[in-house]
Amino acid sequence: MTIKKIRENKKSFVTRNTVKGAATFIAAGAILFGANTLTAKAETYTYSIPVAGVSVALTEYLEEQQSVENAASASLTERSIPTVEAVATNAQALKFINENYKNLGIANVNTSLNVRVSPGNGKVIGRIPAGGACEVLEETNGWFKIKSGDVEGYVSGNYLLTGNLAIERAVKELASIATVNVSGLNMRKSASTSSGVMRVLRRNTAVKVLEDLGEWLKITHNNSTGYIYAKYTEQEYKLAEALTMDEIRYGKEISDIREQVVAYAKQFVGNPYVYGGNSLTKGTDCSGFVKLIMAHFGITTPRTATTQYNAGKKISVAELLPGDMIVYGDKQIEHIGIYIGDGQVVHASNVKTGIKYSKYNYRKIWGCVRFIED
C-alpha cells in the first residue's frame, strides 16, 4: 500500500497481525493528522513541532513507515524506510521522543555541530555530536536557538533536521545509555574482574552500551571500547546531547572537588584586592586568594605565589583542569590565579579591579601547578 493510498483510506487505523509472529500492531491513520496523535503498541503519544511554520506529527512519521510494503514507494523517496515491524519495536523510541522533546532537532553532520553564543560567527560554546538531539527554541534568519544538555545557543539551520525527518533520524539514533551510580567504576579490557583496568569512571558518567552481556556491559567511552559491571549502573534509552567545550576537553569526569573549588572561588568575584590581606570578603591578594580557597577544602598551600608554584605539582598548559593554578611572570613569578575552565582564570587582580575573571593567557604564563590529586 503506497503513502497515497493510505491517505485516501477512510479508516482511522490499520491493523497488522503479522508483526513479530502473533504480535498485533495498531497505528493511527491519515484521519488523525489534525490531532497529532499516534498509537503504537497500544500506547498513545502526542507530538507537535511548530517550527518555521511547520506542524509535524508522529502520525505522519508512522504513516510513512507503513508504506514500505510497496518497494516502489521507497525508491521514489530515495531513502530507505524501516519496515512496519521495525516501527512496532520502536514504540519505546517514539515514547521517549514525545516525553522529552517538544520541538526536536537532530544534528545532521558527520562529526559534530557547533553551538555558538550568537548567530553567525559567535563564539563556539559547545558541540552536538552527529545524530545528537536538541530542543529547538526559536528560528532567526536560518539559525536555530537550541538547548541541548547544558548548552544553550545557536546552530546553523543548514545542519539541523527538524520535523518528521528529525523523528525518523532520532528513532535510528536512540541508544541504551548506562550511567555510573557509584563513586568509581572500573572500565576493563574484557568482561572479567581479572582483566586490565582501562580507566575509572566517576559517578554520573554516562556511556553508550554496545551490548548487554548480563553481568557485564560492553560500552564505548571517549572513543574507547571496554566493559563495565552492569549492577553499578542505571540503564535507559537516550539521545546524545551537546557537550560544553570543557566537557569536550576534559571529559565529564572532572572530580566533584574540582567543581566545588571553582564554584566556591566564583562566589567572591567583585570583592576587593588588599595586598597582604587574608579575607575573601574584606580583601586579599592573589596568593592569599588561592590559599584561602584551597584551605576551605582542607588543602594546605604556602602563602606567596613563588612558594605556591614551588610546592605544587608542575603541569603543562595542555594538562590544566579546573581547580589547577596558573602562575604568571616574565623574569620572575609575579602573580597566580585559579583556572576555572573554558579558558578562564579567577584571581585577585589588583586594587582597581579586585577579584575578577580573565582569559587564562591574559599575560605571560610562567607555569602551571596542581594541588588537587584525583
Last residue of a domain, one of 74, 100, 126: 100
Catalytic residues: 286, 335, 347
Which residues form the domain of 278? 256-370
Tally of domains in the chain: 4
Residue 173 is which amino acid? E
- Look at the alpha carbons of 125, 130, 135, 137 in this order and tell me if their dihedral is positive or negative: positive
**What's the predicted TM-score (pTM) here?**
0.51
Position 87 in a domain: yes
Q: Where does 305-367 have alpha helices with state H?
A: 305-311
- Sort residue 337 into left (φ over 0), alpha (ψ -120 to 50) or beta: beta
Taking CA 239 as the corner, what is the angle to CA 91 and CA 175, rounded to the nearest 5 degrees? 65
CATH of the domain at 160: 2.30.30.40
If asked whether residues 235 and 263 sit together in one domain, one would say no
Rg of the chain (C-alpha set):
27
Note whether 30 and 43 are same-domain residues: yes
Considering the domain architecture, whether residues 120 and 184 belong to the same structural domain is answered as: no
Digitized pLDDT (tens) for each residue of the chain, 374 residues in all:
333 332 333 332 233 333 333 332 223 222 222 333 333 333 333 333 344 333 344 555 555 555 543 443 343 333 333 333 323 246 778 888 999 999 999 999 998 999 999 999 999 999 999 999 999 999 999 999 999 999 999 999 999 999 999 999 998 888 888 999 987 788 999 999 998 888 878 788 888 889 999 999 999 887 789 999 999 999 888 898 998 887 777 666 566 788 889 999 999 999 999 999 999 999 999 999 999 999 998 999 999 999 999 999 999 998 898 999 999 999 999 999 999 988 999 999 999 999 999 999 999 999 999 998 76
- Asked, for residue 251, whether it belongs to a domain, the answer is no
How many CB atoms sit inside 10 A of residue 180's CB?
A: 21
